[in-house]
């Protein structure tokens, strides 16, 4: 288990400005230098160029928060995977619950995006997670399994070897309500076991991040769980001090 490096990835969502980004990225680079864990930021598209020029000689990776399922064409407003690699992106988040809920991305579209990201040479960060209603109806595992299986069906089990998963219970995102380490671990273990049933090697190497109100004060406890390999960090990734402390909690 110790063989899996931790990854701490910031998801800035629709926040930032040229000036704020400069300060934040500078601080993150300084504050995480020498850290064994992988550190990344997923920034809004217009800031990819700035992010690339500020991070390219550093240990911090970057990525996008979405990607089109199409390679190119008449898709006004969309951004393809190869455009993201043009700006040095390593990662693209796919299937974030805000995309699923607000932009109608279903499991099949998310699977297409996952595949498109990989085809372009990106590492997709695939988000899965249940709503509060689903948790209360005790169908968390079914929901997460369906989200995962759609990707496996389209892209194949081996494709997970070149991806990152993020378990993000929807009720914990931006709410200040974090899943307990035990609640998160339970779902992470479920996901890993399900994948292990198909390919044990892929399952044991896969980074599974937890996301949903991760803060400096709860990160170490979450990251200490056997199947939690780091975090996808929303709100707290915008505050340099908080984000750096979360990264430090991820040191192996
Ligand atoms: P949060 O967001 O840390 O603000 O809860 C996490 C996410 O949406 O990835």
DSSP per position, 93-141 = EES-HHHHHHS---HHHHHHHHHHHHHTT-EEEEEE---HHHHHTT-HH
End-to-end CA distance of the chain: 11
Residue 91 contacts residue 62 (beta carbons within 8 Å): yes
Residues 217-246 have pLDDT tens digits of: 999 999 999 999 999 999 999 999 999 999
Count helices and strands in the chain by DSSP H and E runs: 11, 8
Residue 122 contacts residue 161 (beta carbons within 8 Å): no
CA atoms within 13 A on the CB side of 228: 30
Please report the domains of the chain, with CATH numbers, ordered by start residue.
77-252 (3.20.20.70)
Q: In sequence order, which ranges of 165-239 are alpha helices (DSSP H)?
A: 181-196, 200-205, 216-223
> DSSP assignment, residue 5?
P
Give me ligand 1 centre to Cα 40, in Å. Answer: 14
Query: Pick the catalytic residue: 105, 168, 188, 242?
Result: 168
Active-site annotation holds for 105: no
pLDDT tens per residue across all 252 residues of the chain: 447 999 999 999 999 999 999 999 999 999 999 999 999 999 999 999 999 999 999 999 999 999 999 999 999 999 999 999 999 999 999 999 999 999 999 999 999 999 999 999 999 999 999 999 999 999 999 999 999 999 999 999 999 999 999 999 999 998 988 899 999 999 999 999 999 999 999 999 999 999 999 999 999 999 999 999 999 999 999 999 999 999 999 986
For the full predicted model, state whether its pTM sits above 0.85.
yes
Active-site annotation holds for 70: no
Q: Does ligand 1 have an atom closer than 6 angstroms to the CB of 42?
A: no
Give me ligand 1 centre to Cα 174, in Å. Answer: 5
Backbone dihedral region for residue 32 (phi beyond 0: left; psi -120 to 50: alpha; all else: beta): alpha
Residue minimizing CA distance to atom 9 of ligand 1 = 234
CA atoms within 13 A on the CB side of 200: 1
């Amino acid at each position: 288990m110790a063989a899996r490096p931790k990854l701490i990835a910031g998801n800035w969502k629709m926040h930032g400005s040229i000036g704020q980004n400069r300060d934040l990225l500078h601080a993150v680079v300084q504050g995480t230098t020498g850290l064994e864990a992988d550190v990344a930021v997923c920034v809004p598209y217009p800031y990819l160029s700035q992010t690339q020029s500020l991070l390219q000689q550093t240990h911090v990776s970057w990525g996008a928060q979405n990607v089109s399922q199409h390679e190119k064409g008449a898709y006004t407003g969309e951004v393809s995977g190869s455009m993201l690699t043009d700006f040095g992106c390593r990662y693209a988040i796919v299937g974030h619950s805000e995309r699923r809920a607000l932009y109608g991305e279903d499991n099949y579209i998310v699977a297409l995006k996952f595949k498109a990201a990989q085809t372009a040479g990106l590492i997709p960060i695939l988000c899965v997670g249940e709503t509060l209603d689903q948790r209360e109806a005790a169908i968390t595992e079914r929901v997460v399994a369906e989200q995962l299986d759609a990707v496996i069906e389209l892209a194949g089990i081996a494709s997970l070897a070149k991806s990152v998963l993020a378990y993000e219970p929807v009720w914990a995102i931006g709410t200040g309500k974090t899943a307990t380490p035990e609640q998160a671990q339970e779902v992470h273990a479920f996901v890993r076991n399900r994948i292990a049933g198909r390919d044990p090697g892929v399952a044991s190497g896969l980074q599974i991040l937890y996301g949903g109100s991760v803060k400096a004060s709860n990160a170490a406890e979450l990251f200490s769980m056997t199947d939690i390999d780091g975090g996808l960090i929303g709100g707290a990734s915008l505050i340099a001090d908080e984000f750096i402390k979360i990264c430090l909690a991820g040191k192996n």
